[in-house]
Chains A and B, each alone.
Chain A
Amino acid sequence: MSEAWKKDFPLTSEEESYVTRREFTKFMALTSLAFFLGTVTAAARKLWKRASWNSPAAVRVTNVDELAVGGYKLFHYPTEDDPCILLRVDKDRFAAFDQRCTHLACPVYFNADDRQLLCPCHNGIFSAEDGSVLAGPPKRPLDSLAVSVSNGEVWIQSAELEDT
């Protein structure tokens, strides 16, 4: 009586979870295909972004008088989704960077005393002079923007694509 069900269901758990060699190799091949398709998708997005990149016009961020030495101003450029930071490094020197840390895109803030841009998430430190990495996990410098001063106004020039 107690063993009767085994005749009706002659399937053991070992047999059920058994993976054949063919199934396993199929899984490997599909994993490889998934990696390739992921790479294609990421590359296509990059290409699409590049194709749709229009060199944005220069924008006025602030007046020179409104920003004290060691001060900063946040703005968005070239779109509202791109936070940037303008720094007054010296009396006559301004610098502007993309505010997103190149590690994991946390916003960086300006430490005027040390002339550094700090990322609070993972303690990434960038130079306020040129955006280069001074310490922490980021591997590449902050994206910098060209700044110009004319008629007492600070302007941000278009961000250029460097590669070909």
Chain B
Amino acid sequence: MSPKVRLRQRVRVVLQMVMGFVIMILFAQLWLFSITLDAMENRHTSMTVLIVALICSFIGCGAIWAMLRLFLRAEENQ
């Protein structure tokens, strides 16, 4: 196996890991979105829940952008 092929396989494995993380974060964001929608209708929902959901969703979004950016940059440098 040539070094180039080996490198390509490694990149593929890393991509699969990144995609796994990204999909997990996307599901978490969907769940947070559903919590916020429920809070919108229910006036008794605590504001703390809403703020935590917002912050977590923001962190998730940032994490996805950072991971994908890092991966694509690393791939370009190869």
Contacts and interface: CB of A to CB of B under 8 A. Distances in A.
Interface of A: 21-22, 25, 28-29, 31-33, 35-36, 38-40, 42-43, 45-47, 49-50, 53, 102, 105, 140, 143, 159, 161-164
Nearest to A105: B41
A155 B64 CA distance: 53
A35 B22 contact: no
Nearest to A40: B54
Given A28-B22, A162-B44, A164-B46, A39 B57 contact: yes
Contact of B44 (A25, A35, A143): A143
Contacts of A49: 40, 43
Top 10 A-B pairs, shortest CB-CB distance: A35-B29, A42-B36, A163-B46, A36-B61, A32-B64, A39-B57, A25-B68, A46-B40, A32-B61, A42-B40
B26 to A, nearest CB: 6
A114 B76 CA distance: 69
Contact of B53 (A43, A47, A159): A43
Given A39-B53, A46-B50, A29 B68 contact: yes
Given A28-B26, A39-B29, A43-B53, A163 B36 contact: no
A21 B60 contact: no
Given A39-B33, A102-B42, A163-B45, 11 more contacts: A21-B15, A21-B72, A28-B64, A32-B26, A32-B60, A39-B54, A42-B33, A43-B53, A46-B39, A49-B43, A164-B47
A140 B38 CA distance: 11
